[in-house]
Amino acid sequence: MGKITIAIDGYSSTGKSTIAKKLAQTLDYIYVDTGAMYRAVTLYAIRSGYIGKTEDIPALIQNLPAIQLQFVPNQDLGYSEMFLNDENVEREIRTMEVSGQVSKIAAIPEVRHKLVEMQQQMGNGGGLVMDGRDIGTVVFPNAELKIFMTASPDARATRRYKELLDRGEEVSFEEVLENVQKRDFIDSTRETSPLRKAEDAIEFDNSDMGLEEQFERIYDFAQRVI
């Protein structure tokens, strides 16, 4: 079939990006982490005082044209990093502060409109693995392969907790679990493109699966379509 579009959606911290990255590297496809884009807009909103201690969503909406997002390839890492108005924000967008606000920002229709349009432009022509919440339902409803990743809240919070500790953040397991559950709730109940499984997506529960096994299975799904 040639180059296809692969959409990987699912709940928070199900390991979507790890699998998506590896799949893209193996297939020599472009990888796009759409969560990073929502996180970068959130970081901008926090820094500008549009969300957090004070809140001014209309001002954020008005200033959306001033937000420039770019994925810049890092040859050493083997994947791209998120740049916000020419600044590398890859680390800063992964903090608990951003995680605590991102679902609120991602529920704003104007924000979604801007980012979905950018995502659709990146994927024009296939050869792409994109992960997020609405890729198979809204961004690329015609993607040739759609995976919907799930895992128990405990398994997800454990993975995320380890990731944050590795990065040197001081957080408690309970705090991480609460954040994961809260984000899933907001993401699944928002009005604009809520998180849900596309009808033609393959549901993939990886609670009890190691990385190798997950990759082998998903790579196999891709091979069958390509």
What residues line the site for ligand C5P (CB under 6 A)? 12, 34-35, 38-39, 102-103, 106, 132-134, 183, 187
The least CB distance from residue 92 to ligand C5P, in Å, is: 13
CA distance 116 to 157: 27
The least CB distance from residue 34 to ligand C5P, in Å, is: 4
With respect to ligand C5P, which residue has the nearer C-beta, 35 or 123?
Answer: 35
CA distance 69 to 51: 19
Please state the separation of Cα 131 from the chain's center in Å. Answer: 5
* Residues tagged in the binding site annotation for ATP: 10-18
With respect to ligand C5P, which residue has the nearer C-beta, 144 or 163?
Answer: 163
Q: Which helix (H) or strand (E) holds 5?
A: strand 5-10
The least CB distance from residue 223 to ligand C5P, in Å, is: 25
With respect to ligand C5P, which residue has the nearer C-beta, 28 or 166?
Answer: 166
Contact 8, 203 (CB under 8 A): no
* Residues tagged in the binding site annotation: 10-18
The residue type of 11 is: Y
With respect to ligand C5P, which residue has the nearer C-beta, 117 or 226?
Answer: 117
Burial class (CB in 10 A: 0-12, 13-18, 19+), 38: buried
The least CB distance from residue 41 to ligand C5P, in Å, is: 9
